[in-house]
Structures are given as structure tokens and as C-alpha cells.
Amino acid sequence: MSLQGVEELVLDLENIGAIKFGEFKLKSGLMSPVYFDLRVIVSHPKILDSVAQIMLDQIKEVQSNESLLCGVPYTALPIASIMSVKGNLGMVVRRKEAKDYGTKKMVEGTWTSGQDCIIVEDVITSGGSVKETAQLLREHDMKVTTCVVLLDREQGGKQNLINDGINVISIFPISKVLDTLVKHKKINSATVEAVQAFINNNQTTNSTNGVAKSEKHPENMSFQARSEMNVNPVTRRLLDVMLRKQSNLCVAIDKTKSSQVLELVKKVGKSVAVVKLHSDIIEDWSSAVQEELTSLSKELDFMLFEDRKLADIGNTVKHQTSSICGWADLLTVHGLPGPGLLQGVQAACADAGRQIGVLLVAEMSNAGNLFNKDYTKAVVGLGEGKGMEELVVGFIAQSRVSQRAGMLQMTPGVHLADSSDSGDQRYTSPGQAVLEKGADLVIAGRGICADTNPETKAEEYRQKAWDAYLQRIK
């Protein structure tokens, strides 16, 4: 739609009373000098059709033929319905409350696991209704990364949704509405000043622990930007390695003899950012093996990751870590014992005079694991807690569990060929891990190490994972 067409639509909305000026009590209890009553557009079919068309036009670059639409109940439902018909896009309907009979569903329609769903909304203030809708759709295994909204009150809702991983496409920011109405002498400068003062004084942007969230969702930020803003020296070093080598690949080498481990490290080292080991399963583990691994990590420019998954009281973890932080750069721990465990790691690092980066296990890739959403949330809260900024690098997870740009996500269970092994391991591809699951680094093991040519296979995994990262930040 042309600029003239956009202005005409704003004037049409003002003419039918969808945009009002005066004194209006909002749901929050605040008195606002402006009110948007977009429910009235259902009585004006031509305007409703124009609204649906302009919103449909704005999502063409982000939608696919498989994308679904979901209107936030209730005002956006007719808009989404017309967009669905015009764009030949499937639609799902979110209920505000479940029926107490029949299927008792909260979401009506059909979809496939991981299918993209674009949320349609009429007005956003804090973005709360969109966020609730996104959470429900995600719980039903849909992917939600985009919301198209007719009118943005510019009170922080857009930023809040970006922080939640939802890109917002707004047709009319309130500033554009005011400019148009002033231009056509529908309101005066005093009204504009009153509205602008209300907007400026009633921002809703969220923060966590007093620290403002990143202006961009971490998945959309470059590793360079995230390195520059990071306070954790281990995280910065890891990101710098990833940028130098253009690699977000971690290879898991689960061999029981040091000769096997070292042979594989020499073959895959040039393609990886991280080598992950279980030193406690290596039968002939020794200080000489540690020294050779450390030498190779410097020569081939990668970091060493001990996947020990410690889970004990702080004092015990301190002793366990003391034998690890002399050579490893990264270490996994479970969050179950609580903050005392992290304090034990910190104490061991202080005694050794060498910093190690902690990765908390928030989710696992194997079938039948006992992790649940409440536990994952608690683990993330532990890692993001005060004083943990220079210790915790991020999380082992199957989905984006933290919205902090400083926290990295490493996703295990990555394989190009298989969806599962003969046991309980479930696999995903490098592209899926990065683009759909939010991985910053992918962890691949047998898909590389069991190949007859691990050197070539590691390079293939590196290229696919890095290409997915480049696609993501675009």
C-alpha cells in the first residue's frame, strides 16, 4: 500500500471512531488521552478488508506457504480470518478459556510439529496478550517468531516481544498516526503533546534483576556483538574462537583410550570451536594426555570441554573441579544441588588461578529424561543469578531457554543422517538445531567420530551449522 493509501486508512479509522482522543480509563487503571477501539472495524467491511490486506502485505517476506496465522482473541480474529482467505494461509484459533465439554481444546485447528505460526494482533501496549498467545502456541509445538500488529502504542510492547524472541511488524506506530492526523488537521499540537507525554511516562519495557534486556533477541545478534557486550572472559574467548574459525561446531569424542581421542582431535580440530570429552571414561587418562590435549587446543585453536555433569554439595564439587580446571575451559554441571555447587566451582578456580566456564544442563536430548519445564526454569534462574555473570557461560538445552545475549546455548544430539540411535538418543540436524532450537553451538558426536573420514565429515557439519547461523542473523 502506498503512503497515500496508508494515510487514507488512518483517516478512515479516525472517521469511524476507531481512534479517539479525550480521557479514557485503560485496563491498567491509567487515564489515557488516546484510545484505540478497533472492534468497530467489523462493521465496516471495506476498512476491514484494507486492514487485512496491508497486514498480509507486510508479512510476505517472513511467511512461507506452510505458515499459519493466529489472531489474538477477540478483535484480531476477523482480521486474521480475512488474511487467511486472501493469502491462502492456514489458521489456528486460540481460545481464551477451554470448553468444559467436547475436546476441551485451547487451540483449534490442525498443525504439524514445529510449524511456523504468525500472530495477528490489533494493538500492543506491553505485548502481554501476544506473549500469552505465543506461549500457548509454543506449548502446542508450534514455532512463533513473528507478530504483525496494526497499531503499536510505542510503550515498550515491541521491545518486550523482541526480548521474548518475537519479531514485531507494526503497520502504524502511534507516532505515524499522530503525524498523519496533524497533517490533515484532525488534531492539534496540544493533543499530540499530551499523547507523547503519556507514552513517555508510561513505558512497559521489562528488565531482569535490574539489568535491561538486550535490544535485540540473542538469536538475531551476531557473535561479534555478543562478544563485545559480554562480561564473562571465557565466553568472550569462546566467541572469538568461533569468529576466527567461522565455526559453531562442538565435536563430542566419547572414546575410552587416549590414543583414539588424540587421533580424532588431530583430524577434526581444524573445523571445530570446541572438543567435548568425558575424561573419566578414558582408561589411560594422565597428565601427559592433558598436556598433549592442551597443546593441540592451542595449535588448532579450539577450546576443551569436560562434560562431567557434576551434581553434589559445594565442597565435594570443589574437589572434583580442582582436577579439571587445570586443563579444561568448559565444564557441565547439573543445577539440582543449587547455588552451593556453583560456589564450589568458583572456589576451585580461585585455588587453581584459572577461570573455567560453566554450562548448566537445562534440557537433555535423550528420550525418557525426567527434565520438566519447572526444573528447566529453575536451572536458568540459577545460572542467571546475581554473581554468576563471570562463571556461567550458558546452558545445555534443546530450546532457547535464556533471553540474555550473554548466555550461550549448546545443543547436543546433532546428526546429519539419523533421527535416533539404537538406544535413547534423539537427533536433530545442524540447521534445525540453529534455526529452530536456538542453538549457538551444535554438539555432534557419532555422526562425525564414527565416520570413515571424520576430517571431511567435521568440515561438512561446520559448514552447515555456520551457514544456518548466518541465515539466522540476517
- Pair (423, 467) in one structural domain: yes
Q: Which residues make beta-bridge pairs with 143? A: 116
Residue 212: its pLDDT value, please?
A: 36
In the numeric block, the cell 554441571 is attached to 333
Secondary structure (3-state) at 425: strand
- Pair (41, 150) in one structural domain: yes
- Pair (105, 238) in one structural domain: no
Is it the case that residue 117 has pLDDT exceeding 70? yes
Residue 79: its pLDDT value, please?
A: 97
CA 222, CA 239: separation in Å to the nearest integer? 10
Residue 380 covered by a domain: yes
User: CB-based contacts of 3: which residues, under 8 Å, 6+ apart?
Assistant: none
Q: How many CB atoms are located within 10 Å of the residue 448 CB?
A: 29
Which of 180, 205, 230 is the last residue before a domain boundary? 205
Query: Distance of alpha carbon 67 from its chain centroid, rounded?
Result: 19
Which of 205, 233, 267 is the last residue before a domain boundary? 205
* Mean pLDDT to the nearest integer, 414-432: 76
With cut-offs at 50, 70 and 90, classify the pLDDT of residue 209.
Answer: very low
User: CB-based contacts of 99: which residues, under 8 Å, 6+ apart?
Assistant: 105
Are the C-beta atoms of residues 468 and 442 closer than 8 Å to each other?
A: no
Number of domains in the chain: 2
Is it the case that residue 207 has pLDDT exceeding 50? no
With cut-offs at 50, 70 and 90, classify the pLDDT of residue 215.
Answer: very low
Residue 255 φ/ψ, nearest 5 degrees? -100, 155
CA 80, CA 150: separation in Å to the nearest integer? 11
- Pair (53, 151) in one structural domain: yes
Residue 367: its pLDDT value, please?
A: 74
Residue 339 covered by a domain: yes
Residue 213 covered by a domain: no
CA 282, CA 344: separation in Å to the nearest integer? 25
- Pair (262, 363) in one structural domain: yes
- Pair (53, 159) in one structural domain: yes
Residue 335: its pLDDT value, please?
A: 94
Residue 218: its pLDDT value, please?
A: 78
The overall average pLDDT reported for the chain is 90
CA 176, CA 150: separation in Å to the nearest integer? 12
Q: Percent of the chain, pLDDT > 90? A: 71
Is it the case that residue 425 has pLDDT exceeding 80? no
Are the C-beta atoms of residues 437 and 395 closer than 8 Å to each other?
A: no
- Pair (154, 278) in one structural domain: no
* Mean pLDDT to the nearest integer, 117-125: 95
With cut-offs at 50, 70 and 90, classify the pLDDT of residue 408.
Answer: very high
- In our burial notation (b when 16+ CB lie closer than 10 A, e otherwise), range 324-351 reads bbebbbbbbbbbebeeebbbbbbbbbee
- The domain of 162 spans 3-205
Instruction: Write the CATH number for 242.
Output: 3.20.20.70
- Pair (163, 244) in one structural domain: no
Residue 102: its pLDDT value, please?
A: 57
Is it the case that residue 214 has pLDDT exceeding 60? no
- Pair (171, 291) in one structural domain: no
* Mean pLDDT to the nearest integer, 421-449: 87
Is it the case that residue 204 has pLDDT exceeding 90? no
Are the C-beta atoms of residues 443 and 413 closer than 8 Å to each other?
A: yes
* Mean pLDDT to the nearest integer, 69-93: 96
- Pair (253, 397) in one structural domain: yes
Positions annotated as catalytic residues are 309, 312
Question: Of the given ranges (55-64, 126-135, 212-221), which has the lowest mean pLDDT?
Answer: 212-221
With cut-offs at 50, 70 and 90, classify the pLDDT of residue 96.
Answer: confident
Residue 215 covered by a domain: no
Secondary structure (3-state) at 437: coil
With cut-offs at 50, 70 and 90, classify the pLDDT of residue 424.
Answer: low
Which of 205, 235, 260 is the last residue before a domain boundary? 205
- In our burial notation (b when 16+ CB lie closer than 10 A, e otherwise), range 61-81 reads eebeeebbbbbbeebbbbbbb
* Mean pLDDT to the nearest integer, 96-114: 77
Instruction: Write the CATH number for 44.
Output: 3.40.50.2020
Are the C-beta atoms of residues 330 and 356 closer than 8 Å to each other?
A: yes
* Mean pLDDT to the nearest integer, 25-47: 85
Residue 147 covered by a domain: yes
Is it the case that residue 239 has pLDDT exceeding 60? yes
Residue 347: its pLDDT value, please?
A: 94
- Pair (29, 90) in one structural domain: yes
Residue 434 covered by a domain: yes
Residue 338 covered by a domain: yes
Residue 210 covered by a domain: no
- Pair (198, 243) in one structural domain: no
* Mean pLDDT to the nearest integer, 260-281: 97
Question: Of the given ranges (47-56, 206-215, 273-282), which has the lowest mean pLDDT?
Answer: 206-215
Summarised one tens digit per residue, pLDDT across range 294-343 is 999 999 999 999 999 999 999 999 999 999 999 999 999 999 999 999 99
